[in-house]
């Protein structure tokens, strides 16, 4: 066994495999952070009993989940993190538009303006995440 191997891979192979694995993990990392924020907000909401906490936590959730979707996904990429952040923000924007369109046609207990407000907050947060990524370049 070569003295340069710790897990059976040479440094050259690790230099190739690690970036490939990071590229593969970009979207899963983004989605996992999105749902991680969702679960954290659900946990916090379950521990509060104030009537204002539900709507306020939903708005915080809209911003935080979008922000970390873009930021975590982009930071997972081995290179071109700013460009990846832009692409993830665009994907998230498409998701928001689709949800708002579906919300327009399918009536729920929440008013349409609430869905639009949450969508706008999400888009602003996704853009803020891209701005932060640009500062880290």
Render pLDDT for 56-75 as a digit per residue (tens, 0 to 9).
Answer: 888 999 999 999 999 999 99
pLDDT, average across residues 32-52 = 87
Work out the average pLDDT over 87-106: 93
Dist CA 134 CA 85 (whole Å): 9
Phi, then psi, of 87 in degrees rounded to 5: -65, -45
Query: 10 Å Cβ neighbour count for 15?
Result: 10
| Structure-model confidence comparison of residues 75 and 51, the more confident one | 75
Is a pLDDT exceeding 80 seen at residue 55? yes
Give CA–CA dist 86/131, Å, rounded: 9
57, 41 in Cβ contact below 8 A? yes
Alpha-carbon radius of gyration of the chain: 19
pLDDT of residue 45: 84
Q: What is the pTM of this model?
A: 0.85
HSE toward the beta carbon, residue 53, CA cutoff 13 A: 10
Query: What's the pLDDT at 7?
Result: 57
Residue 133 banded pLDDT, cuts 50, 70, 90: very high
Sign of the CA dihedral with 89 first, then 116, 95, and 97 last: negative
Q: Find the length of the chain.
A: 137
């Amino acid at each position: 066994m070569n003295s340069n191997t710790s897990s059976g891979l040479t440094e050259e192979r690790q230099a190739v495999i690690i970036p490939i694995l990071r590229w593969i993990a970009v979207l899963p990392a983004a989605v996992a952070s999105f749902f991680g924020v969702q679960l954290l907000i659900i946990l916090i909401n379950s521990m509060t009993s104030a009537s204002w906490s539900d709507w306020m936590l939903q708005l915080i959730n809209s911003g935080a989940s979008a922000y970390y979707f873009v930021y975590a996904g982009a930071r997972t990429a081995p290179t071109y993190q700013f460009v990846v952040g832009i692409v993830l923000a665009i994907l998230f924007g498409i998701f928001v538009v689709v949800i708002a369109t579906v919300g327009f046609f399918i009536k729920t207990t929440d008013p349409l303006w609430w869905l639009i407000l949450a969508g706008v907050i999400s888009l602003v947060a996704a853009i803020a995440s891209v701005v932060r990524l640009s500062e880290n370049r």
